[in-house]
Structure formats: structure tokens, C-alpha cells
Structure 1
Amino acid sequence: MDSTYAALLEKTRLPQPSFQRFAVVSLFRRLESSLGVLGPNSAVCHDAISQCLRSPFAAVVDQAVHELCRLVAVGDRLSISVALIEMQSALEGCEKRFAPVFVKGIGFLCRFAFCIDSSWGRRFELVDLHPFVKVLSCCKESHEELIEQVLLFIVRNKYLGINEVVRFLRPFIVFSMIWKSSSACVYFFSRNLISAIASLSCSFPLEAISILKLLTDCLKYLPLTNQEEFLYIVTSAEQIVDAFVVVLQQTVGIEKDVATDARKCSVEVLCMLLSICASFHRKALVQVEPVIEISRHLLVAQKELGLCYAFEFVNVVVSASVILAQVEFEHDQLSVLKLLILLMEWKTEELSTKRASCSLGEELLIVFPVINLLSSPSKPVRAAVTHLLSLAESFVLNFMSVLKKTEVSFTDCPILIEAETIPLRLLHHLFTQGQQLPYSSYFFLFTSDKITCDNEKYCGPLYWTSWLREHLLTIEREKTTFPQSSESHYEGVNILLGSIAYSLVISPAFDTSAVDPLVALGVQNPKLGMTMFQAALFYINILLKFERNSSKILLNLLEVLPSLASNSAMVKIIVQTILPMLHKNAKLSLHAVAIRLLCKTWVVSDRVFQHLQGVLSPKTLSNFESVREICVSVAASVRDVCKDNPDRGVDLILSVSSCIESDDSAVKALGLHSLSSLCEADVVDFYTAWEVVAKHVNTYTEEPVVAASLVTLLRWGALDVETYPDIARIIMLILWEVGTLRSYSSGCLWVKARTIAFQSMMHYEIVKFQEIIPEFKEKILQCLLNECNAEVLEAMEEFEIKIINFEHTLILFSQIFVFFSC
């Protein structure tokens, strides 16, 4: 090394800070004035600078950093890149107390380079090369000073173009979010960095939006593996939201474009936080209440500033509905409800008149989760739920009017990209495209591995509601096989499915088919019994208020009630709901529906049989003899009881007899079906019952419905033919008569009766028909040759096969007899 440099370097070791600083100044002045091999870009110069920066004396290091920055700033004597390399190299091996000094120097060099050329920062888009990233990676003692330098960089260079400043800082800020280190200080650095930048941005609101957008984007990269990391995210988001509020307060009414951008970005922050809550709540990583409070703070601030309700809030509403379907603690439920009330009240004030037709129907998704809390023991929760439902009702009615009057299009709605917006996107698709599914649809492929797909059975159109029903019933079957895993896996999802299914009730395109998945949901998840009951009442009230003929869907909505009886706590409530419909002053059609509802409820829970038995008594048939709807309803219910539980059917034997004695063919046919089920179960003797009912079925040749039910019953007389030969002869002649009846035989009802007749004849021995019907084989062959109907012909062929088998058996026995005789 040159002797001059060596002497000056030796003086830097003097035990006097003033002498040390003077020696460093002298050394750098010599470097600045030297040329050639001793100049600033020479190896000798670099070695001298390096020794000064690595000195163990604080005064030497401080003055060396200062002089190096000055050397770069005075001209082109030393390139910025060389100075950066020297400082970064010295920082990596320095004592901890010297780290802030080097960070100051690196910060100055970056600011100076950016001032000279604003495109200078583009060379550091690769994270590894970024000077601030290198500083962050060195030691934690530099973190506080690094934040200060970032703030200085923004303040000093924002006039050159805030977008270029953001472009330079983006790789560094993203790295600070995703950098994994064993030290906990990394989390504090990220949080403090966001807080400092967000606070600084409030000082220049016109340029703040680009910076806050950067922070919003980078916030997504923060890790979320434990509750502590979630709290860091919430704290950072709170700082960003506060900054947005300040920017809005300073720009609303002055800078419209800036305020609009600020508002849009702030909603993105809320949607991101709510999305985290909706996705990770079940993993016990997140706390809902802090996020909701941040959301309410931002929305209240916007409302107080006089801003109108924005369509972007649809994402907030949908996310909140998903969260509400999952939260369990009262304080979380209250916070979400208050947020939704704020949004609904705001929308009511702003959109109820001038932009009501632009509703996206997001209110439909909050109804079911909200009703789920209607039975909460908490008075504040119930009060909030009641208020929110009253607000949502007007929007649902308005949306129904839009569906009726115009063709709904959702092409102008905000982009719904979060996972929790899938239910709303699905509703939009169903409302606009209808419910028919192509065989290549995702839903078909998703469920085809669990639901048996028969191409012949599903050769017609596929419907979404049908597949949802099958999917729910498949889940119910899986729960019986895997009871432990299924409960937690599907928890919360059923509330979302219920929201979608109930929302389809208001659509004219779905009509009554929307009720089928609701019935399946009631069977699959008994815990939702009370919620589904109250939701059914809510939508019944909605449909009654709506000006269109919705009586059919109203009656079908009542069909949801029996499925809820799988929850034992719901049985009494369901019965209390149905019994008023059975009063004498009730509408006759409603009376008939109530009888069927009570019967279907009994199918689910036997606890209601006492009520059902009283309704199905013979007295009901006699009192309403002239009301065909009620008589048919009673007869159908009696048939269902006898079929599902013959032991209970025996208790209704008098009602069975009354049905058979009725003059109405449908009631008589249902009575015969009931008796057939009892005889099949062998709880009633067929021939004993036949002696009672024989005189009431003489019209079978004129009424095909009665004929079909009668021949179904007569098959059960085959067991005791030998015991009751005379009666058996009459029965077999009736079967033969119905099966070979030619008059009116082309009608579908007669085809059914004749087909069942031959199927019933299969239960009897062929030899008995040969004994009572002259030329039996010739007649049956003639019938077979002359028959034109395919269904009857198939039944005849089966019967003919039995005849052939019988004859072969006779020949075989005769040959065996001859053999043994010889």
C-alpha cells in the first residue's frame, strides 16, 4: 500500500476520536485527488476504504461512512455500485453497534442514486440484489434504522414519481413478509414496517394510494400458521385501514378519483381479512371479532363521510355470511350480525329506490345463517337477528320482483374471485342459466363417484336440485358408515347448502323442485331442524306477501316439516304446527295436506302415531265423505302406515275397511293396497279379510284403478288354496278375468291392471287353473298370440314359461314312474 495511505490509516488508530476523524477525512481527500493506480477506483483505494469501514473505532467507522457517501455525491470519482458493495460487505462483518451507521449510508446511496436516475431501482427487481434485502438479512440491530431509511427514501423521492418508488420498494417489502427466520423479531419488523409506511402515507394523501396498494398486496404474503401470526396480520391490516380512513377524510369532495381508489383498496383489505376468517376459523388460528371490528370501523367511517353504498360490499356480505355459518361464540356472532346490520341499513337508505334493480341477491345467502341464530339464548343476539331479518325481507321481495319482471343479468357485478363467493356465483348461474346440467358438468363429475349413475335411468335431463338431493342423501349414508369423520367434515357446509337451497325457492324456474334438497338436508342433519323450520316459515311469509300465485310452492314448502322430525326435539313443534290445519274451520285443501304431513312425520318419528291414528279414524271418512281430497288423503295415509309398519296398520284395520267400502274408486283402491300390505306381512288372514271385503269390489270390471289394487291383493290367497278351495276358485277366476279382459284394455290403467293380474297368477299353481278353466292351455296360448301391448305380453310370457316348466315336470315324473314300474 502507498506510504501516505498507510500513515493515514495508522493515525486512525490513535486513541483520540478527533484525531481519528481528521485522519479519515485526510485519507478520503487524498483518494479524491489521486489519479491512476492510487485513484478512487484502484485496488489500493478500495483496500483503504475497506480498512476504514472495518475499523474497531466508532469515530473511524462513522466518519468513513460519511466520507464515502460524500465521495459518491461530489461527482463520478467513485461509482454508486462500488460504494454499495463496500458498505454491504462491511455491514455483514461489523460489530452490532456499528450496524445503524452502515444502514444510514446504504440508505443515502439508494436515495442519491434514485435522484440521479429514477429508473435505477429497476435493476433490483431480483430480490437477492436489492440493497435493503441485504441489510435485512444481516442482523436484527439494523431493523429499526432500516425502517427509518425506507421512510426517508419515500419522502425524498416521491416527487420523482411515486410509482417508481413503489416499484423499487416492492421486492423488499414482499421479502420482508415471506422471509422465514428463527428470530421472532422478523414478525415485529414486518408489522412495524407496515405501520410506519401506512402512518407516513397519511402525510401526502394524493400519493398515498399507490403506497397503500403496495402494502395491501404485500399483506397477502404474511404467513399464517399459528394464532400469533394471525394477530400480526390483524395489527398490520388495522394500520392500513386507519391510513385509508385518513386518506378518505382528506380527499372526499376534493379529489374524487383518489377517494374512489382509496375506497376500493380498503374494501380489498377487508375482503382479504374476512376471507382468512372464513377459511381458517375451524383451524382455531383466527379470531373473528378483531377482524369484524376493523371492518365496521372502515365502513362506519365511509358512511359518516357521506359515501354511497358500493357494489364491492357484496364480497363483504358474502364473506360475513360464510363466517356466520361457522362461528360459535356469542361475541363473534354479535360482531358479525352488527356488521351485516350496518351494511343492510346503509343499502336500505341508498339503494332501496334508485338502484334496487341492481341488487346482486347477496341477501339471500345471509337469511339461513341468520335464522340459525334465532333460537339463541342470548337476548342481544336474538334482537340483532330479528332486526336483520326484517331488513333482509325487503331485499328478498325486491329481488323476486326483479326475477319476475326482467331477465336477470349479473355481467356487471364485481369480480367475485374469493372461495367464499362460490355460493353466490352458483346462485347467479342457476338464476340465469337454469338448473339443467350437462353430463360433462363439474357437479355431475364431482358426485358421480359417490352416486350410482345409471345411463338408462338418467337418459333425460339432469337437474341441479336432484343431484344436490342425491349428494345429501349420500352424505347421510356415509355418516352411518363413518360416524366419527363425517360429523366434523360436513359441519358448517350444511348451512351454506341450506342457504342455496332455500334461495332457489323464490325462483320461478325451479318451482317445487327446490324443496327436494331441503327435505334431504333435514334428514341428513337433524341438528338443523329448528333452523330449517324457522326458515320455512320465513319463506312462506315471503311468498304470501309476493304478488304471484305461489300456492303450489307454499304447499311444497310444508313438505320440509316431516323431515325435521328426525330431531326428537322438533316433533312436538311440528305436530303443533300441523294440528291447527286439521280444525273444522280450516280450508279443506289445507286439511287434506295436513293429514299427509302428519303421516310423513310419523314415518320419521313414531311418537306422532297417537295423533295420526285419531286423524285416520273411520269417523274422518264419514264426516268428510263428500270431500274427495280429504278422503283420498286419509286413504293414502292409511296405505303408507300399513306398508311401512304393518303392526301399526293392524290398529287401523277399521279405517282400511272403511276405505274399501267407499264409493270413490281411488279411495277404494288405496284401501285394497292397505289390506294387501297387511296380508303380505301375514298380520291379517287373507281369506278372513276377503269374506268381509268381497261384496265391496264388484265394480272392478269397470274401474281399472280398483282392478289393479284388487289383483295385487288377490296374489296373497295362493298360500291357503287347499284350505279354502271354493273361495280360491272365485279368486283365481277374477285374476283370469282381469288378465284376459279385452274391453278398454288399451288404456294405461287397464294395461297396469292386466299386467299385475298375470304377475299375481304366477303365485298360484298351474294345475289349479287347469282345473277351473276349460281348455286352459289353448286359451292362454291364444291370448299370447293376440296380445299387442308389450307390458302385458311380457307378463304373459313369464306366465307361459311357468306353464311349460310345469308340463316338463309332469313328463319327468311320469317317466320316473314308468321306470320304477318296470
Structure 2
Amino acid sequence: MAAASSSAAGAAPALARLVDRTRVPDPSLQRHAVAAFFRHLLSLAPPLPSAAHDALTSLLGSPHPAVAAHAAASVARLAASRADLLAPDLAFPFLIAPLSASPSPSPRLASCFVKAVAALVSCALRSGPAASRFPPHDHPFVQALASGADGARAELPRQAARMVAEGVDGTVGFLRPFVMFAAVRKGDSAFVKDLFGALAAAAAAAAKPDSSVPMLKLLAECLLHFGRGNGEEVRLWLTSVECLVDAYVILLKKLAHAQLTTYDAQASSVELIEMLLSQWSLHHQFMGIASVILGLSKHLFWVQKDLGLCYLPEISVVLSSLSFILSGLEFEHEQLAGLKLLTFLIEWKHENGTLLIFSDLTSSREH
């Protein structure tokens, strides 16, 4: 113990000298100095001493953007490759703290911190379950958003979408507290709309289609928690709905054309429509919203029929909801849109039943 304490004390002067070298005014020399600092950390016995923690805080809070940005990326790499020196759960606070500093970091620098956090998250997800590593009360993306840094707000949707598109296992579980936190925050519907658009597009294009549906279901659930304010918030909510419907259309087409199973995606899209119809009563005072929801619903069902997908039994719930909603529609064009959707679904159900009967008759004759 005495030897370890002596070694830690001896490291402090060397670390201080390396930090001083990063204060030169040349960005290129600053980056070389930061690289030398982290090479020195690799020579220390694990875990890093408190003097190293203090030095990391100094570098990440440097007034020189090149120093702070290079240090952020280096901290993420160190925690990912040498957890014995700096465990990821210790590295996250180092990376997030500068976002809440006063004055706030520049948008470009804040973006660098978020990229470093996201890279470390991806590495951590590949090594274990998300729930145990990232509890909601100590979630790095939630903390980054709560910091209020402009660059963080802009970068978080991009990094979240990247993780979804890459199909990193555990991504949906990791993102759930973050997406929910964003949805329930008051007065932040514009950010939620951007986040929804990025995640919905990424889910539709995900490398692993089996991870797309859980992400889209999470987004549908979050639609219940925002867009309840003024007309502008409702407009942003409706834009998010359109993004989600478009994502389902893209996903269903991709699965059908690749001859992969479509049931989960189709059933999930039916749940979305049922949820939208149930939410209509909360937004009916806004002119035109009923027509848009009914139009989007019909479009999503029409795509399913056009792809040759079966009429699912779950759609019967939508028929019941439509019958109830029609009695509450005030305007003729809304009633017409509702009747068109109702007629379409009834005809599809009848055609599907006829095809099944014909198929059974053909099969029995062949036998």
C-alpha cells in the first residue's frame, strides 16, 4: 500500500508537466501533447491515481478546443480498451461534466463530447446488457440533454440514430430512458420531433431488421407523452407521426421484397394506428388533424394490401374504433375520410376471406 501511495504521489509532477505542455498556442502541438499525456497514462499501474483524474478534468475543461476535443476522444478510447485503468462508469462523468460548465462549450466542442460518450456507450453495449450499465437515474444521454448545451442537443439525435442503424445489441433498451425523458420534457417538442425523425429513419434502414420493430414501438409509445400543448406542439407531434408511418412503410416494403417475415412489423403498425385513433380525442379541437390521421392510417393499410399482406385479425380493433370515432366527427370531409377508411378495411377483410376460402377449395380438390 505504501509503495502504491508513493507511486501515485510520484506520478503527480509528471502529469502536471504533461498538462502544461498542452497550453502552447499551436493546435498541432496541443494534440501531440495530449497524445503524450495519454501514452503516459498507459504506463501507470491500474487503477489511475487521483492525480490522473485531476489532470483529465483539466484537459477536458481546457480553454483550447483542440485540447478538449482530442482529450475527449482519448478518454473514450482509454476506457474502452483499458477498463482496468479507467472504467467506463468513471469515464462518463468526465465526458459529461464539461457540457454543464459555465460558460457552455461551443456547439462544435459539445458535439465532440457527445460523440465520445456515444462511442463509449456502443463499446459498453457490446460487452453486456444495457439495463444494468445505464440505469435511468444515471443515463449519459439523459445527462447530456439535461446539460442544455446546444451542440449536445444537435448531436444526440445523430448519435442515437447511428447506433440504431448499426444494429448494436441492446440499443433500444439503452435509448428508452433517453427517448422517454425527451418526450416528457415540457417545451421541447422541436427536439423530440428531430429525434423521432432521426430514429424512425434509422430503424427503417437498420442493418438488423429484427431490431427495427422494437425501436418503432418505442417511438409509438412516446407519442403518448408529448404534443399536448398549443397548435405548434401538435403540428410537431403530427410531423413525428408522419415520420413513423413512413418508417413502417419502408420497413414493410423492405421485408416483403426480401421475402422475410412481415407479421411483427405489420402487427406493430396496426397497434400504432389504433393508438393514433385513440389519441384523436385529445387533439380533435385542432382543425384538420382527424383528416390527416385517417389519411395516414389508410395509406399504411393500403401499402400492406398492395404488398399482398394478409388482413390481420388485429385490424378488427381498428374497425371498432373507427365506428366510434365517426359519430364524433364534426365536418363532412372528416366523416368522408373516416368512411373511406372503414370501407377500405371492410372490403380488404372480405377479399382476404374470399381468397382464403378459394385457397382451401383449391387445396381440397388437389388432394
Q: 2:328 and 2:233 mapped to 1: Cα distance? A: 21
Q: 1:254 and 1:112 mapped to 2: Cα distance? A: 30
Q: What is the deviation of 1:18?
A: 1.2
Correspondent of 1:9 among 15, 19, 22? 19
Correspondent of 2:105 among 95, 111, 117? 95
Partner amino acid for 2:26? Q
Correspondent of 1:246 among 231, 247, 250? 250
| Deviations 1:208-234, CA, capped at 9 Å, x for gaps | 122222222222222413333322222
| Deviations 1:92-144, CA, capped at 9 Å, x for gaps | 114233211110111111111112x221443323x221111001111233122
- If the length of structure 2 is used for normalisation, what is the TM-score? 0.85
8 A contact 2:161–2:199 mirrored in 1? yes
Residue correspondence of structure 1 range 648-797 to structure 2 within 5 A: none
Correspondent of 1:64 among 47, 60, 71? 71
8 A contact 1:111–1:157 mirrored in 2? no
8 A contact 1:252–1:259 mirrored in 2? yes
Correspondent of 1:178 among 156, 175, 184? 184
Q: What is the deviation of 1:179?
A: 1.7
Query: Corresponding residue for 2:311?
Result: 309
Residue correspondence of structure 1 range 1-40 to structure 2 within 5 A: 2-35=12-45
Query: Corresponding residue for 1:337?
Result: 339
8 A contact 2:228–2:282 mirrored in 1? no
Structure 1 residue 129 and structure 2 residue 138: aligned? yes
Structure 1 residue 104 and structure 2 residue 115: aligned? yes
Q: What is the deviation of 1:353?
A: 8.4
| Deviations 1:609-629, CA, capped at 9 Å, x for gaps | xxxxxxxxxxxxxxxxxxxxx
Change (3 A) 1:40 1:16: farther
8 A contact 1:230–1:285 mirrored in 2? no
Change (3 A) 1:80 1:285: farther
| Deviations 1:661-691, CA, capped at 9 Å, x for gaps | xxxxxxxxxxxxxxxxxxxxxxxxxxxxxxx
Q: 2:332 and 2:165 mapped to 1: Cα distance? A: 46
8 A contact 1:99–1:141 mirrored in 2? yes
Q: 2:282 and 2:38 mapped to 1: Cα distance? A: 59
Residue correspondence of structure 1 range 21-420 to structure 2 within 5 A: 21-35=31-45, 41-75=48-82, 76-93=84-101, 94-97=104-107, 98-115=109-126, 117-125=127-135, 127-139=136-148, 140-156=150-166, 158=168, 161=169, 164-181=170-187, 186-204=188-206, 205-252=209-256, 258-281=261-284, 283-284=285-286, 287-351=289-353
Q: 2:258 and 2:118 mapped to 1: Cα distance? A: 35
3-state SS, counterpart of residue 170 of structure 1: helix
3-state SS, counterpart of residue 118 of structure 1: coil
Partner amino acid for 1:261? D
Q: What is the deviation of 1:298?
A: 0.4
Structure 2 portions without partners, runs of 5+? 1-10, 358-367
Q: What is the deviation of 1:350?
A: 2.5
8 A contact 1:174–1:218 mirrored in 2? yes
- Greater RCO between the two (CA within 8 Å, min separation 6)? 2
Partner amino acid for 2:24? L
8 A contact 2:48–2:86 mirrored in 1? yes
8 A contact 1:280–1:286 mirrored in 2? no
Q: What is the deviation of 1:17?
A: 0.7
3-state SS, counterpart of residue 166 of structure 1: helix
8 A contact 1:157–1:165 mirrored in 2? yes
- If the length of structure 1 is used for normalisation, what is the TM-score? 0.39
> How many pairs are equivalent?
340
Q: What is the deviation of 1:166?
A: 1.7
8 A contact 1:8–1:23 mirrored in 2? yes
Q: 1:247 and 1:156 mapped to 2: Cα distance? A: 16
Residue correspondence of structure 1 range 597-636 to structure 2 within 5 A: none
Q: 2:13 and 2:294 mapped to 1: Cα distance? A: 70
8 A contact 2:189–2:226 mirrored in 1? no
Q: What is the deviation of 1:45?
A: 0.5
Change (3 A) 1:294 1:10: same
| Deviations 1:713-753, CA, capped at 9 Å, x for gaps | xxxxxxxxxxxxxxxxxxxxxxxxxxxxxxxxxxxxxxxxx
- Identity, in percent, stands at 35
Residue correspondence of structure 1 range 490-501 to structure 2 within 5 A: none
Query: Corresponding residue for 2:3?
Result: none
Give the greater-gyration-radius structure (CA).
1
Q: 1:190 and 1:265 mapped to 2: Cα distance? A: 21
Q: 1:286 and 1:334 mapped to 2: Cα distance? A: 13
Partner amino acid for 1:129? D
3-state SS, counterpart of residue 2 of structure 1: helix
Query: Corresponding residue for 1:739?
Result: none
Q: What is the deviation of 1:194?
A: 1.6
Change (3 A) 1:123 1:68: closer
Q: 1:194 and 1:245 mapped to 2: Cα distance? A: 16
Change (3 A) 1:170 1:286: farther
8 A contact 2:283–2:289 mirrored in 1? no
Q: What is the deviation of 1:152?
A: 2.7
Q: 1:118 and 1:206 mapped to 2: Cα distance? A: 19
Q: 1:294 and 1:13 mapped to 2: Cα distance? A: 57
Moved more, 342-351 or 170-179: 342-351
Change (3 A) 1:310 1:128: same
Q: 2:152 and 2:355 mapped to 1: Cα distance? A: 58
Change (3 A) 1:121 1:286: farther
Partner amino acid for 2:54? D
Query: Corresponding residue for 1:769?
Result: none
8 A contact 2:60–2:98 mirrored in 1? yes
Partner amino acid for 2:182? S
Q: What is the deviation of 1:90?
A: 1.9
Partner amino acid for 1:335? A
Q: What is the deviation of 1:307?
A: 2.1
Q: 1:285 and 1:88 mapped to 2: Cα distance? A: 43
Partner amino acid for 1:2? A
Q: 1:328 and 1:156 mapped to 2: Cα distance? A: 46
Change (3 A) 1:303 1:157: closer
8 A contact 1:122–1:168 mirrored in 2? no
Partner amino acid for 2:159? Q
3-state SS, counterpart of residue 129 of structure 2: helix
Q: 1:216 and 1:344 mapped to 2: Cα distance? A: 25
Q: What is the deviation of 1:13?
A: 1.8
Q: CA RMSD in A?
A: 2.3
